[in-house]
Structure formats: C-alpha cells, structure tokens
Amino acid sequence: MIVNSPEWKALEQLAEQSRRWHLREQLQNKHRCDAMRVEYDDIVLDYSRQNMNPETLQALLKLADAAELGKKIEAKRTGKAINTTENRAVLHMALRADPEDDYRVDNEAVTPLVIDVRRRIAAITQAVRQDKHLGVTGKPLRNVIAIGIGGSYLGAEFVFEAIRQHPSCADASAGRQLRFLANVDPADFHRATEGLNPAETLVVIISKTFTTTETMLNARAAKAWLSEALGFEAVSKQMLAVSTNIPACEQFGIQREHIFGFWDWVGGRYSVCSAVGLLPLALHFGWQNIEQFLLGARSMDQHFLSAPFAQNLPVLLGLIGVWNSSFLKRPVRALLPYSQALHRFAAHIQQVDMESNGKLVDRDGRALPLEAGEINFGEPGTNGQHSFYQLIHQGRVIPADFIGFCRPQTSVKLSDNRLDLHDELMANFFAQPDALALGKTEQELRAEGVPEALIPHKVFPGNRPSNVLLFPELNPYRCGQLLALYEHRTAVQGFIWNLNSFDQWGVELGKVLAQRVKSVLQTDNLEGSENLPFSTQQLLSKYRRR
C-alpha cells in the first residue's frame, strides 16, 4: 500500500517540518515563487501560496512515481478497463478527440463513433436553428428544456452559465432559451416550463441509463405537457433523447433519428463532452461555439498526456490536493472563481470530485488506510467574501483555489471611475490569496493604534494555503480547458490513493430505501412501515396527516 512506501513516509516528515514555515517569509523568496509558478497555453498556475516548497514537490513527484501515476494515465488513455468494478474503460478524453486521435476500447477505434454523433448533433442543430426542423404546429423551435440529473445535468448547466454571456455565445443564442430540469420537486418542473410556449419548445431527455427515477418522471411530465397542448404527434417531433440505452428511448416514444447515443466508457459525471452536454448546448449556442469548447478540453487533455509532471497543471493540482488532504490533514477545498459566470462550477466539481474519490476501499477492495476524497464547496468571489470567507481567514484552515480571468466577458465602466467593474473584481482576486497567506500580526495592529482589547479579535494568523489560477478569458475554449483541468485533477488524486475514481456504488442504498418508502406511501394506511425504523414511521405518519 502506498502509505507504507518510503515516499509516503518522507512526505509525512516534510509535513511535520512544514508546520515551522510561514508563508509570510516564504513569499519573500523570489526563487521559490518563480519555481512554484507554471504556465500552459497562457494559463498561469501559481502555487507559491501552498504550505510547501520546491523540495515538497520533488517528494510528491517521487510519490507519483511510486504510485505508478504515469502507467495509470497511460492505461486510461489506451482504453484499459480501469473501472474494474464495472469492467469499463474510462475514455471521456475520446469525446473531444480530433479525427486523427486514436482512442480504442477493446481494440475498436472509438474516435469515428464520437465524430459520427458530433456530425448528427451539428446537423440537427443547424436544422433547428435555421428553422428547417420546425415544431408540430409549424413554429420555429426557440426553446430547449434539458431534462436530466447528476452527471446528465450539472456539467451542461455549468458550461451554459459559464459561456452564455461571452459575446459569441450571447449573439448566437439571442431570442432562445435553454432551461434545465433536474429535481423531482414539482416546483422545478414549473420553473422549467413557466412562460414557455410548448409549440416552440424542444425537450431533450438526458439519461445514460434511461432508468433514473427523477429523470423518467420529469420526462413523463414533459411528454404530457407537450401532448396535452399539441397532441401526441409533438412527442415524435419535439422530444429528443441522449442515452446509452437506445431501446428504452424508443420505447418511450422518441424517434430513432432523435436519439443521440454515447457509450459505457463515458462516466455520467465525465459526460458533458458527449451528446449529454453537446446537444442542448449546441441547440442553444450553435455548433461553432461548442466546437471551441471541445477544442479547449482537448488542449488540456494533450497537455495532461504530454507535459512533464512538474509542469503539468492537472498533475500539480492533484498532487497539491493529496498534500493538503492526506499529509496536512485538510480535507476541505474551496473553489473560488472570480467570475459570476462560474456560479455553477463548484456544483459540477462537487460531483466530479466527490462522487469519484469519496471511497472506502482501494482498487483491490482493501480498506483504505486514510480518508480519501476532498470536500469541495464554493461560490464566486466577491460574493463569498461577504459570507463565508470569515471562516477561512480566522476559523479553519481551508485550502482554496482562486480562479480569475484577465479579460472580462462583458464590460461595465463608470464615467467617474478609472477602473471598470472587472478591475474591481480582480483587485479582490489578487488581494485575497495574499490576505490568507500573509495575515496580520499583533504588532502590525498595535502600530496602527488598534485598542489592546480588540487586538486578539483582529489578528489574522495567515499562512493559509491557496492556488491562483489565472486564465486569459472565459470563452468556450477556456471553459473546455477548465473543465478538463479539474476532471484530470480528480483522476490524479484517485490514482495516487489507488482507488477506483470511476464507479459510484455509494449512491445505490438511498435509491433502494426510497423504493421501500414509496411502496409504503402507495398504501392507504402506511402498510409495511413497521419494517422501517421507528423514527421513520413517526415522520411518515406526520407527513401523511399533512
């Protein structure tokens, strides 16, 4: 086990030593800071505010070797069944392949399959957007409701929000609406359909399995919504599906030519570059924007596969994550994009990372001797500064990722202000990592004349770690890079911890128990509830008396 390796032990010692360092001193060392900043394709990662130094990185690179990181990445790239509990390859990189990229599963070339689905998406996108594919009443289809949950929803919503204000996307989507429907809460259905004319609306049902309860219930509700307004014909004309389960889509009433497939080697949370994300996003933003998004994701894949580990952004982020969580025992990570467009980024990364690495056992089924996985949360800055940053400044130590952009998507300039709103935003982006790292001492407070009684309350200990990721701008291409960067980061951590990041058995039990509760709720007198825990019985009878 990796925790017994000399490389792991060496890092434990370094972690002990690192408690004696303070970022206030470390940040004065220009050589150290230079060594802890890397750049790829105009994206800067500055990790000089981590509680580590270049020597720590060398030790982490040795750990990566001991964990056979290179071999595991290669096994992933070459389509080996690294998702061992489901005997599946993990090839979401193939979803953004160029035609010449040779990805294979069981020796079958999969790139042509990917390109074929892309071609079909581009074709229907064009037909809908040029008013050639019309609704059943002959009206142009301006709106899309994308129904799906978890991996069949979060990625697409994150990308939608991230790029919709970018000029090329805003122009391309003028007069159109894309809404998402995920939760089985009736309120979500009403929010998704509110104000939309069924005659102008396409419904896209997205589900890898096409069995997920929430999605199927919402799909049935949407089918009724369309057919009650427009007749049953609307289903075949205005409902599309994305799934690996083609027969189930057909059985639901979706025409074969309106079904867009993907494959079992694409995990749900890694599926935004398949038809799962591409179909709704292309219908809304046009194919060209979506092509840029794929190019961005591919560029990060190429970097991940080819850059030396010491300059490899996803590898560095993954190693830093392992350092913080396993060695410094800081299991939480804050994702702090200084971009309102990324307000759904943390929600997506929560699933990518926590569903992947929240595991109990290693790849061979042996109990993990450590708590793997990180707890991710976050909000855009500066909003977060006015809510929970207090805790990360003076309460718990929470490593943070600050993500910022040199150029804004849109600009607002005030006539009497030399800085525009984006500059104001970015001033905070540059200030916060330093505030966390440097802190404020008693002496400084005293020199400022702060009353003695208030000094303990106003001290900032500093030495709080963060990464700074600076991108040139947030356009579809950069959004693809950001997505792939975090996807690969998660894989790197899972590879180091030697667990299977690509299954998710932990979500099953709740689903089974919900079925049991459902069968109780279907009876008149909560029959069968005696088999449930006492407290659940009491709650159910309160609910029944509503």
Question: Does the footprint of ligand G6P cover residue 209 (CB under 6 A)?
Answer: yes
Question: Does the footprint of ligand G6P cover residue 296 (CB under 6 A)?
Answer: no
SS3 of residue 278 by DSSP: helix
Between residues 207 and 292, which has the closer beta carbon with respect to ligand G6P? 207
Q: Name the one range near ligand G6P by CB under 6 A: 169-177, 203-211, 289-297, 415-423.
A: 203-211
Question: Does the footprint of ligand G6P cover residue 277 (CB under 6 A)?
Answer: no
Which structure tokens are listed for 219?
A: 């799909």
Q: How far is the CB of 144 from ligand G6P (least distance, A)?
A: 18
Question: Does the footprint of ligand G6P cover residue 488 (CB under 6 A)?
Answer: no
Contact criterion met (CB below 8 Å) for 205 and 252: yes
Between residues 241 and 445, which has the closer beta carbon with respect to ligand G6P? 241
Contact criterion met (CB below 8 Å) for 376 and 354: yes
Q: What is the DSSP letter of 493?
A: H
Q: How far is the CB of 210 from ligand G6P (least distance, A)?
A: 7
Helix (H) or strand (E) segment spanning residue 153: none
Question: Does the footprint of ligand G6P cover residue 513 (CB under 6 A)?
Answer: no
Which structure tokens are listed for 418?
A: 């030399």
- Selection from 15, 37, 34, 47 nearest residue 437 by Cα: 47
Kindly identify the residues of this chain, within the stretch 134-193, that bind ligand G6P according to CB under 6 A.
Answer: 149-152
Between residues 356 and 529, which has the closer beta carbon with respect to ligand G6P? 356
Residue whose structure tokens are 């040779």: 102
Q: How far is the CB of 20 from ligand G6P (least distance, A)?
A: 43
Q: How far apart are alpha carbons 469 and 401 in whole angstroms?
A: 7
Out of 143, 173, 193, 207, name the contact with ligand G6P by CB under 6 A: 207
In a 10 Å sphere around its CB, with 0-12 CB exposed, 13-18 middle and 19+ buried, how is residue 528 labelled? middle
Q: What is the DSSP letter of 327?
A: I
Q: Which of the residues 157, 161, 355, 374 is marked catalytic?
A: 355
Out of 83, 111, 125, 212, name the contact with ligand G6P by CB under 6 A: 212
Active site residue 55: no
State the number of binding residues for ligand G6P (CB under 6 A).
14
Between residues 83 and 212, which has the closer beta carbon with respect to ligand G6P? 212
Q: How far is the CB of 355 from ligand G6P (least distance, A)?
A: 6
Q: How far is the CB of 376 from ligand G6P (least distance, A)?
A: 16
In a 10 Å sphere around its CB, with 0-12 CB exposed, 13-18 middle and 19+ buried, how is residue 143 labelled? buried
Q: How far is the CB of 405 from ligand G6P (least distance, A)?
A: 29
In a 10 Å sphere around its CB, with 0-12 CB exposed, 13-18 middle and 19+ buried, how is residue 526 labelled? middle
Question: Does the footprint of ligand G6P cover residue 320 (CB under 6 A)?
Answer: no
Q: How far is the CB of 149 from ligand G6P (least distance, A)?
A: 5
Residues linked to residue 471 through DSSP beta bridges, in sequence order: 405
Question: Does the footprint of ligand G6P cover residue 208 (CB under 6 A)?
Answer: yes
Q: Which of the residues 386, 413, 448, 518 is marked catalytic?
A: 386
Active site residue 355: yes
Out of 215, 339, 356, 409, name the contact with ligand G6P by CB under 6 A: 215
Question: Does the footprint of ligand G6P cover residue 356 (CB under 6 A)?
Answer: no
Which structure tokens are listed for 460?
A: 């900032």
Between residues 358 and 528, which has the closer beta carbon with respect to ligand G6P? 358
Instruction: Give the DSSP per-residue string, 356-425.
Output: HH--SB-TTSPBPSS--S-EEEE--TTGGGGTTHHHHHHSS---EEEEEESS-SS----TT-SS-HHHHH
Question: Does the footprint of ligand G6P cover residue 489 (CB under 6 A)?
Answer: no
Out of 79, 198, 268, 286, name the contact with ligand G6P by CB under 6 A: 268
How long is the chain? 546
Q: How far apart are alpha carbons 397 and 395 in whole angstroms?
A: 7
Residue whose structure tokens are 């750990």: 63
Out of 3, 123, 412, 507, name the contact with ligand G6P by CB under 6 A: 507
- Selection from 36, 45, 41 nearest residue 468 by Cα: 45
Question: Does the footprint of ligand G6P cover residue 274 (CB under 6 A)?
Answer: no
Active site residue 386: yes
Catalytically active residues, by annotation: 355, 386, 511
Q: Which positions touch ligand G6P (CB under 6 A)?
A: 149-152, 207-209, 212, 215, 268-269, 355, 504, 507
